[in-house]
Amino acid sequence: MRRRYTAPLVALALALPAVLASAADASAAPADKGEVLSSWTQTSASSYNAWNAARNNQAAWSAYGFDWSTDYCTTSPDNPFGFPFKDSCARHDFGYRNYKAAGTFEANKSRLDSAFYADLKRVCATYSGASKTSCDATAWTYYQAVSAFGGSPAVDGTAVA
């Protein structure tokens, strides 16, 4: 009688870690990760503000496994002509890196680039006169660059030298 239970118990003991590991993997990121990512990468100021609040409290979002890393404006100046584009570039990096990790980058690239441009235009809206004109022109140039080259290995800093 004792042997009849030993084999199933040993099999259960050996299988339990695998079952628990797969359960942990399945719950690694909350089910709404895609929705949260989408909400933080829209063109609106409220989307930017929500992303920035989360960025300033990354620990609260750790279960989502977001990639918060950034190289800001990559090889372009972060603050060209004194215009503070650094945070706009950080959000753009956030969108690119997380959509690439999700495997849905191509489907979202255009919107991410549009959100980047909207962020830059909000920066420029704080200026007036010739400074605003210069900022707007610089923002347009940055937008055109990411529109044409964003996501390419050379621009992302992943090109082999």
Whole-number Å distance between alpha carbons of 96 and 113 = 9
Q: Which residues contact 100 (CB under 8 A, 6 or more apart)?
A: 151
10 assigned to active site: no
Of the chain, the end-to-end C-alpha distance in Å amounts to 68
Tell me the three state secondary structure of residue 95: helix
Which is the catalytic residue, given 36, 88, 89, 92? 92
Catalytic residues: 92
